[in-house]
Structure 1
């Protein structure tokens, strides 16, 4: 849906709603609703009694029906639209004998009278269409907002210095990432599963080190069984054994199967990724806070890697960090097609069109009253 579609649909729906409301006001909403109710009640009476009050049916029901019709008509407001139609219906139904044709003719008269309620029905339909048009316009506004953000991001990336010496950031970051990955792999492979999982559990104190917490049953197992002193790769090897073979290696094969075999995916995916920086790096403030937390965490299992991490943190204080990072982000994220669109000015044109569309949608939504 485009701007013209959403705004035109909204304005047309509003115009339809207002026109329908004028037709309702010309008669009166209360009067039309009263007429609508009267038609529904009379149809219900016909349905209730037709089988018993026609022909030679139940005479008591016939008398009761005529009495209820009389009371129904007498209770109608004198100013009710189409009241004379109800009076004529009453007169016809007060005959000494009623047939199915009488009931059919009365229903036709009710249907004709109910046409007077059409403006009310049309107004309610118009209100519903208007409400949906407003919701559609708001959805389109959200979409346009996202598209504007996307184009603004492209423009920002396009302004980056693509020739900036990003290796000044990349080399220290890659050196740290490789060092911490190797150190964690060694820690995971050589330390006991109990020690590794306890380490991971302590990282919950550091929200910028997003390790997934160990499952409680797995923690309980490594603390309560001798097999917990084995490294994680050995536990995973045990989990693949048959129960009969596993009985030769651990005291409680069933417990290992329950607590380790069911957590293989967690153990297999446990790596240094939450400790790495990656490329391109985050904004300076974000990276600085990440480094502050990671220094405390990395020091627990790889103190010799802390110096590499401090070197990464020092990057965030460089006066050219933002310029180098912007260049890195642009190189990584800008596709050839996006670069061409930036070069030709297509992105700028799209951004101008989208901003105009956003303004038109906002103006229409603000100008036209909410659904009441």
Structure 2
């Protein structure tokens, strides 16, 4: 039975039925409130609460052989309370009946219990407000479950579409004709940037990184403001980055022999060591497998402008070779094969072999059913 219930709560049809039931329950609860009137029910709630406060105030002293003055005060306050009730208050007769119930010489706890019993119907009416709030919350929770399940199906559709696309890949395609120029460029640009980082003045290296902010597809993280200001304004900025990082490890007294403001260097360089340690050529590489043609073409245009600022001709020649290869008609076929070869797991390959078309159609239909239900209910 639990397995059947679990299946019902995740199956699209079951979820739609849950949403429809929650919608109907909310509408029934709203109709029940409107039959009486929300404002009238709230007024009734206030009357019940007021009466309970009155009972709490007098019950202990006005019962049995209690304080006679409390008994008289209770009688007077009860009459005044009932007389002030709205004429169209639901269940007003039940409140009025309490005047006769308590018109006796001695009161007992059973009288107060009887009084509360007489207000049972009034409490039930007021309960419609809570029922409506609960029904609205349940409806909202059910919509959330349906929406989350629809999102899960959407993700499944995306994954299955990917598998279907990769399943059509020509795994015998000569991907090395694409891999070779990309690996050549990536190796050369890494070596060139490593040399640039290790030998050029830190001011020039970080200035280059700041320049790349005008090329959003290159992707360097921006230089921290304090570090950029330090290398731009201090003589130490003419030192290579490895030297500055080594200086940052010195004690202030030892560092005082090498730079004019040792504490400023330790704050700016030492405080940004993580940034500097991570500064490498990865934003300049193409990577494997490469991006889709349209995306990569735009990025390569930016890379040509950026890499030319520090790299030698052999790096640029390799980059241009990649650009030409991306423009070839067979790029998409080779890229798809490369992605399939690189990304597909053994389980995904097995799933492709068994066929994904039926699963994809089912996932699309399930998502559509749930989206339609969210629009309709």
Q: Which residue of 2 aligns with 1:234?
A: 243
C-alpha contact (below 8 Å) 2:227/2:272 kept by paired residues? yes
Q: Within the alignment, does 1:299 sit opposite 2:304 as a pair?
A: no
Q: TM-score, normalized by length of structure 2?
A: 0.88
Q: Which residue of 1 aligns with 2:349?
A: 339
Q: Which moved more, 1:37-46 or 1:89-98?
A: 89-98
Q: Which residue of 2 aligns with 1:321?
A: 331
Q: Within the alignment, does 1:276 sit opposite 2:290 as a pair?
A: no
Question: Structure 1 residues 261, 65: CA separation in 2 closer, same or farther (over 3 Å shift)?
Answer: same
Q: Which residue of 1 aligns with 2:51?
A: 42
CA distance in 2, matches of 1:153, 1:51: 75
Q: Which residue of 2 aligns with 1:286?
A: 295
Q: Which moved more, 1:16-25 or 1:294-303?
A: 16-25
Q: Which residue of 2 aligns with 1:73?
A: 82
Count of residues in Structure 1 that have an aligned counterpart in Structure 2: 366
The CA deviation at 1:144 is 1.3
Q: Which among 261, 264, 287 is matched to residue 252 of structure 1?
A: 261
Q: Which residue of 1 aligns with 2:3?
A: none
C-alpha contact (below 8 Å) 1:342/1:348 kept by paired residues? no
Q: Within the alignment, does 1:179 sit opposite 2:188 as a pair?
A: yes
The CA deviation at 1:32 is 4.2
Provide, for residues 182-231 of structure 1, a one-character-per-residue CA deviation record: whole Å limited to 9, x for no partner.
10000001101111111111111111111111111112222232222111
Q: Which among 221, 228, 232 is matched to residue 219 of structure 1?
A: 228
**Unmatched 5+ stretches in structure 2:** 1-9
Name the SS of the counterpart of 1:211 in structure 2. Answer: coil
CA distance in 2, matches of 1:334, 1:248: 57
Question: Structure 1 residues 102, 244: CA separation in 2 closer, same or farther (over 3 Å shift)?
Answer: same
Q: Which residue of 1 aligns with 2:21?
A: 12
Q: TM-score, normalized by length of structure 1?
A: 0.89
Q: Which residue of 1 aligns with 2:171?
A: 162
CA distance in 1, matches of 2:263, 2:89: 82
Q: Which residue of 2 aligns with 1:92?
A: 101
CA distance in 2, matches of 1:9, 1:118: 24
Question: Structure 1 residues 15, 195: CA separation in 2 closer, same or farther (over 3 Å shift)?
Answer: same
Q: Which residue of 2 aligns with 1:150?
A: 159
The CA deviation at 1:292 is 1.0
Q: Which moved more, 1:280-289 or 1:239-248?
A: 239-248
CA distance in 2, matches of 1:47, 1:242: 75
C-alpha contact (below 8 Å) 2:82/2:96 kept by paired residues? yes
**Unmatched 5+ stretches in structure 1:** none
Q: Which residue of 2 aligns with 1:262?
A: 271
Q: Which among 100, 117, 122 is matched to residue 108 of structure 1?
A: 117
C-alpha contact (below 8 Å) 1:203/1:297 kept by paired residues? yes
CA distance in 2, matches of 1:188, 1:87: 91
CA distance in 1, matches of 2:49, 2:269: 68
Question: Structure 1 residues 257, 24: CA separation in 2 closer, same or farther (over 3 Å shift)?
Answer: closer
Name the SS of the counterpart of 1:173 in structure 2. Answer: helix
The CA deviation at 1:151 is 1.0
CA distance in 2, matches of 1:203, 1:367: 50
The CA deviation at 1:18 is 3.9
Question: Structure 1 residues 341, 83: CA separation in 2 closer, same or farther (over 3 Å shift)?
Answer: same
Q: Which moved more, 1:81-90 or 1:142-151?
A: 81-90
